[in-house]
Amino acid sequence: MRTDAAASESAVRLADVSAGYDQRAALDDVTLEIPPGGLVAIFGPNGGGKSTLLKLIAGLVVPWSGSVEVLGAAPGREARRVAYVPQAEMVDWSFPVSVWDVAMMGRFPRLGPWRRPGRADRSAVSAALERVGMIDRRSVQIGALSGGQRRRAFLARAIAAEPDLYLLDEPVTGVDLTTQEDLMELLTAETAAGRTAIATTHDLAAAAEHFTTVVALNGHVIAVGPSDLVLDPDVLSRTYGGHMLVLRDRAVILDDAHHHDTASGGEHHFHEGHRR
């Protein structure tokens, strides 16, 4: 059975959107439409606006101009149907909450300000933790987990929300291959059920292998299309510009895998895209 989101004309629609922070523009004149059921990867250089785009869709950033529509309404209007998972470094891992507590946070939009979790909420959280392989770690403080386990816990929070739209900022960054494969298998299953998943990524190999659609972004939309766009040297050149070197038969991307500027000491990563 398809969800309500799948019955709508589009899951996300942006038209002529510009946005940024203070006086610094992060996105300029972005027009993008994502249909229901899409498994979409957004890729581009550090500082290219990937996280800002997710925050616009989540209603956490207000556009300077243009329009944003999410699940047929203004951003934030359908917050109960949207699950947003931030980058790992944006989370305070010292906060004294358990894995179960984190997953239960996904139920809060359904509970409202006064109602306590009931049997249905506990069942949804338990099922979500089972799906991500974390039910046996439910009593562990979130900061005591490995990087991969933390991402699993936050995906459990998203699944427990029973959303129609997943927004995931760098969900596979810094996790082991097994965790990456498990997370992508879960997202594939969710989109097969008619839900929509949009994820930012620096991992071009993962984008090519696991996603059905990719969006090349560097302040504005460079290209939108099937996942093999990440192997197109012209698209890579226009997306990464001076951050790309071409060595014989392959394009090599030199880019910081984290959201902060490379001047702040971020580790540099290399990503390769073969010429066709």
Checking if the pLDDT of 145 tops 50, the result is yes
- Does pLDDT of 1 surpass 60? no
Give 39-81 pLDDT, tens digit per residue. 999 999 989 999 999 999 999 999 999 999 999 999 989 989 9
Contact status, residue 203 vs residue 173, Cβ threshold 8 Å: yes
- What Å distances lie between residue 115 and 56, 109, 121, 132, 255, CA to CA? 29, 11, 11, 27, 46
268 forms beta bridges with 256
**Distance from C-alpha of 208 to C-alpha of 19, rounded to nearest angstrom:** 28
45 contacts 3 by C-beta, under 8 angstroms = no
Q: For residues 227 and 138, what is the distance between their CA atoms, to the nearest angstrom?
A: 35
Distances in Å between the Cα of 165 and the Cα atoms of 54, 81, 143, 190, 209 are 11, 6, 27, 10, 21
Spatial separation of the C-alpha atoms in residues 250 and 274, rounded to whole Å: 4
Among 110-119, 140-149, 164-173, 188-197, which stretch is predicted with the lowest mean pLDDT?
110-119
Instruction: List Cβ neighbours of 246 (8 Å cut-off, separation of 6 or more).
Output: 233, 252, 275
Confidence bin at 5 (pLDDT 50/70/90): very low
pLDDT value of residue 248: 46
Could you tell me if 99 and 130 are in contact, meaning their C-beta atoms sit under 8 angstroms apart? no
Sketch out the chain's domains with CATH numbers.
1-78+164-230 (3.40.50.300), 93-162 (no CATH)
State mean pLDDT over 176-190.
91
Q: What is the residue-averaged pLDDT of the chain? A: 84
Q: What's the pLDDT band for 179 if we cut at 50, 70, 90?
A: confident
pLDDT of residue 244: 56
- Please say if the pLDDT value at position 250 is more than 80: no
What pLDDT digit, counting tens, does each position of 79-137 carry?
Answer: 899 999 988 767 777 788 999 999 999 998 777 667 788 899 999 999 999 999 999 99
Cβ–Cβ under 8 Å, residues 225 and 33: no
Give CA torsion, residues 150, 126, 181, 158, to 10 deg.
-70
Between the two ends of the chain, the Cα-to-Cα distance in Å is 39
Residue type, 101: D
pLDDT tens per residue across span 190-223: 999 999 999 999 888 889 999 999 999 999 999 9
